A = this chain, B = another copy of it.
Amino acid sequence: MPRDGRPARLRLQQAAIDLYERHGFDQVTIAEIAARAGVTERTFYRHFADKREVLFDGETGLRDILVAAIAEAPATLEPLPTLLRSFRAAVPLLEGNRRLSEPLRRIVAVTPALRERQQAKTAGIIEALATALRDRGVSAPTAALAAQIGMAAFSHAAAAWWADPGQDFGMLLGDSFEDLSTLTAPLAAAPESGARLS
């Protein structure tokens, strides 16, 4: 790939994705990625710690948007509606990244080492959501639970979006949080139920 005017960081990501898809993650060296991007190995390492990190660059941007949206939500908004609002704020980023994230999903799905890294990244985002909720005065246990549930609903919406790119991600998010509500409704009907969240 010639130096095409895009920043080296973007060229490295595109080169890595192309090579991983063609040859399999394990078969590709950092030297090959750098060569394809038209930079030196040293430049690769200036941008990314290793072969895996080059794929997960978008996570930081996603986390920053989510955390900022949580901080800006009205103070009276409950934890899960706050998270729904923050996920909606991230829709433009996710839509913009789709061209890179679609092949990335395929590569991660067939590479165990990448799945572990992705799970760790997701855990990092859940922790960031919980911290942002605590900063709004939500108790630590409730913030942790809400962050996990919110991320589950987000993944549920994302799965539907990947399955059918023609759908509107913002709408899918709304549907997903409705599904949460439907799923938990039988718990409220149980005899032992009652509000005790602190």
Contacts and interface: CB of A to CB of B under 8 A. Distances in A.
Contact of A119 (B119, B188, B193): B119
A19 interface: no
Interface in A150-193: 151-153, 155-156, 159-160, 174-188, 190, 192-193
Given A116-B116, A141-B160, A187 B178 contact: yes
Given A192-B174, A196-B175, A180 B117 contact: no
Contacts of A39: none
B183 A149 contact: yes
Q: What is the copy number of this chain in the assembly? A: 2
A185 B188 contact: yes
A182 B196 contact: yes
Interface size class of A (residues with CB under 8 A): 35 or more
Contact of A184 (B115, B123, B149, B156): B149
A196 B160 CA distance: 14
Given A120-B119, A156-B145, A79 B183 contact: yes
A137 interface: no
Contact of A181 (B146, B179, B188): B188
A180 B145 contact: yes
Contacts of A181: 184, 187-188, 193
Given A84-B187, A145-B156, A182-B195, 5 more contacts: A148-B156, A149-B152, A178-B187, A178-B194, A184-B184
